[in-house]
């Protein structure tokens, strides 16, 4: 599991996952239903990207977000995927 604490860390993690899957930025944009410029900005760590689109990219890469440590957060893993 990754610990993400900045937009730059998220971008780097998503770039590494994309490359490991052998996808180009264009491939990922198409799979996620977002624009190429969005993927470029996200991987560069742009802090003003839209959350809805970030979730689409994460889903397209086969990932999910899990929040831990917040008061009232679930103690079991969330299994709902984006768009499901």
Whether the Cβ atoms of residue 40 and residue 25 lie closer than 8 Å to each other: yes
Integer Cα distance of 52 and 37 in angstroms: 15
Residue 78's nearest CA partner among 68, 70, 69, 52 is 68
Tens of pLDDT along 46-73? 998 899 999 999 999 999 988 888 887 6
Q: Which CATH superfamily is domain 7-60 in?
A: lambda repressor-like DNA-binding domains (1.10.260.40)
Task: Report pLDDT for 23.
Answer: 98
* pLDDT at residue 84 in the model: 45
pLDDT, mean over the chain: 88
The reply to whether the predicted model has a pTM over 0.85 is no
Q: How is the chain split into domains, by residue range?
A: 7-60
The secondary structure of residue 62, as a DSSP letter, is: T
């Amino acid at each position: 599991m990754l610990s993400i604490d900045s937009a730059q860390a998220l971008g780097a993690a998503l770039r590494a996952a994309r490359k490991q899957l052998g996808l180009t930025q264009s491939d990922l944009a198409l799979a996620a239903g977002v624009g190429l410029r969005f993927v470029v900005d996200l991987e560069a760590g742009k802090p003003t990207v839209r959350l809805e689109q970030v979730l689409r990219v994460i889903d397209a890469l086969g990932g999910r977000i899990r929040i831990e440590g917040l008061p009232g957060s679930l103690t079991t893993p969330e299994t709902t995927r984006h768009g499901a």
